[in-house]
Amino acid sequence: MSTSTEITSSKSSIENELAATPIVLTIAGSDSGGGAGIQADIKAISATGGYACSVITALTAQNTQGVTGIYPISGEFVEQQLDAVFSDLNVIGVKVGMLSDSDIIHSVAKKIKQYAPQYLVVDPVMVATSGDLLLQASAIDILKSELLPLADVITPNLPEAAALVGGKVPKNEDEMIAMISELRQLGAKSVLLKGGHLEEDTNSTDLLILSDKVERLSNLRINTRNTHGTGCTLSSAIASYLAQGYKLQDAVSLGKEYITQAIIYADKLNIGKGHGPVNHFYSR
């Protein structure tokens, strides 16, 4: 009898442990090369302690050298995927990445409002590391009006931030700081302005823009060309840490530390002929 009780107790304990795994949904495009998009998101969420599920918004013909084709998924089918995930899984955090047109942005925003996940991280993906355009220009206004105001944090890089506020791409940290007021006006609860494009700087400095203050996060810049998928990876890690219960500032700090380590170890991989991916599972 005691053995049966012990087995039942052990089973219950295992079930509770499994149930505690935070579920994080990534809504993004697929990268056939595996370094960015949905593929990078799933790796980052898994490596940082979450359970990853996904909704694909577009298929890309893509590798480390560039994007040669984009095939958008219909808004209707994106909604079907979202209904399937939310109706069954207890999604705590959502990361949104590539949304290639207005129809898909409408669909995603509608379902986010309907299901109201606890945390929403939006990476306003517009340009790939290779320089290829991933978001139609006509869709930017829809993104700003319908989706960004729902976010706990948005994570634009400097070209994306410039596109969102209709300004010039910052060339130094002072010009990043000058964008703060306009970025706050986008309506998200916070903005992580990423300074990775300031390649001449010794450090890679990001600004976490909150409603009442700005926090500066800086790490030594890593000299590597293998940075494919950095934005996808960082935003997914932040969503994963938020879903695990970390406060926003801690989730962002942990996410930045994770992507820094993934970049440090990127050269241990030998993937492709162009900008290779970061090393998501560097600790293994």
| Residue 284 located in a structural domain | no
| Residue 114 located in a structural domain | yes
| Residue 250 located in a structural domain | yes
Residue 177, φ and ψ in degrees, nearest 5? -60, -35
Question: Within a 10 A sphere around the Cβ of 84, how many other Cβ atoms?
Answer: 12
What is the rounded distance in angstroms from the CA atom of residue 270 to the CA atom of residue 127?
24
- State yes or no: pLDDT of 46 exceeds 50: yes
| Residue 9 located in a structural domain | no
What is the rounded distance in angstroms from the CA atom of residue 281 to the CA atom of residue 133?
28
| Residue 146 located in a structural domain | yes
Q: What does the pLDDT look like over 203-221, one tens digit per residue?
A: 889 999 999 999 999 988 8
Across the range 113-132, mean pLDDT stands at 85
Closest among 167, 133, 159, 163 to 148, alpha carbons compared:
163
Residues assigned a catalytic role: 194, 227, 229-232
At 262, which CATH number?
3.40.1190.20
Q: What does the pLDDT look like over 53-87, one tens digit per residue?
A: 999 999 999 999 998 998 989 999 999 999 999 99
Structural domain that includes position 44: 22-268
More confident residue, 3 or 150: 150
pLDDT category of residue 127 using cuts at 50, 70 and 90: low
Closest among 103, 181, 85 to 95, alpha carbons compared:
85
Provide the number of structural domains found in the chain.
Answer: 1
Q: What does the pLDDT look like over 178-192, one tens digit per residue?
A: 999 999 999 999 999
| Residue 104 located in a structural domain | yes
pTM across the whole model: 0.91
What is the structure's pLDDT at 203? 85
Across the range 238-261, mean pLDDT stands at 97
Location of structure tokens 């942990």 = 254
Where is average pLDDT lowest: 12-16, 82-86, 195-199? Answer: 12-16
- State yes or no: pLDDT of 15 exceeds 50: no
| Residue 277 located in a structural domain | no
What is the structure's pLDDT at 18? 46
| Residue 55 located in a structural domain | yes
Residue 55, φ and ψ in degrees, nearest 5? -130, 120
